[in-house]
Amino acid sequence: MFKKKSSLRAVYGKELVNLGKKYDDIVVLDADLAKSTKTEFFKKEFPERFFDMGISEADMVVTAAGLASVGFKPFCSSFAVFLTGRVYDQIRNSIAYPSWNVKLISTHAGISVGEDGASHQMLEDIAITRVIPKITILSPSDPNMVSNLMEKIYHYESYLYMRLPRNDVYEIYKKDQDFEIGGSYIHKIGKDITIVATGQLVSYSLMAMLELEKEGIDTGVVDMYTLKPLDTKTLDSIIDISKGILVCEEHSLIGGLFGSIAEYVVRNHPLPIESVSVNDTFGESGKVEELFEKYGLSKESIMKKGKILYDRI
């Protein structure tokens, strides 16, 4: 179904350079991972606007807040586990509470970090950032989406967190497809069930949809690339048409998109919800495909959960 795979972090790095050419108030900070997060492209092009803060993420994100206070637009990058978990308090107290316009862009989110293992995988970042008041959270699924969103992120006048994976992901969208911060992309709303997926699980959900339809289950897929604020308008449409929702995310089953959608649906229009997410556990070393298989994030897992949901409705 999908042929080409590419790297979201490479697109992020290239788009930073494009933004750097257009806008002289953009500054980029990294914490000794520029080669991995791909901020090295910006570093090479604009060394005077690039700050390698060393292995000190706390110092990095608060320095970015200071730069924002003088009118710069800072982008900070590191692995998801370090950019959120390690500096939760700094994001809360020195970026969100005083409301500084700092963009936090992580790579290596999820279990797809692979061989580095659980210390470097991050399955809790949505949960711990989502509770920070008024934060905006993005989780793109596709390179053209990242490319399209970057200019909007630059112009977005508030603090924001975006999570990107390490591995290459399938290309889903055409180059000219437009996306809005705060929105989602409706591939189809199913009469039986709709899969609401985020990040690289969107491509697997689209593959699973075809299989489920073959088995007579009218299935839809919505790409929920904005995790916060939740696109409740689209959710309302799903609730109107579908009889059940299957949430798919490369994240712990606690506190992520599943939690977010459950909180909304249960309060407004109770409806069966199932999830494809990682159980309450740490990951481990392995290849991406092996990990997705073992931790229940494969296309087959989505189909299995889809059928369980279908039996409930």
Positions touching other proteins (CB under 8 A) are 27, 48-49, 51, 53-54, 56, 58-60, 62-72, 74, 89-90, 92-94, 97-100
Backbone dihedral angles phi then psi of residue 132, each to the nearest 5 degrees: -75, 125
Closest contact distance (angstroms) between CB of 174 and other proteins is 38
Toward other proteins, which CB reaches closer, 94 or 301?
Answer: 94
* Catalytic residue IDs: 57
Toward other proteins, which CB reaches closer, 92 or 294?
Answer: 92
Fill in the amino acid letter for 128: I
Backbone dihedral angles phi then psi of residue 281, each to the nearest 5 degrees: -155, 165
Backbone dihedral angles phi then psi of residue 214, each to the nearest 5 degrees: -60, -30
Toward other proteins, which CB reaches closer, 24 or 290?
Answer: 24
Closest contact distance (angstroms) between CB of 150 and other proteins is 22
Give the closest residue to 161 by CA, choosing from 233, 97, 78. Answer: 78
Toward other proteins, which CB reaches closer, 45 or 213?
Answer: 45
Closest contact distance (angstroms) between CB of 61 and other proteins is 8
Q: Are strands 273-278 and 244-252 parallel, antiparallel or unpaired?
A: parallel
Toward other proteins, which CB reaches closer, 82 or 179?
Answer: 82
Contacts of 235 (CB under 8 A, 6+ apart): 196, 261, 264, 265
- Give yes or no for a contact between 265 and 239, defined as CB atoms under 8 angstroms apart: yes
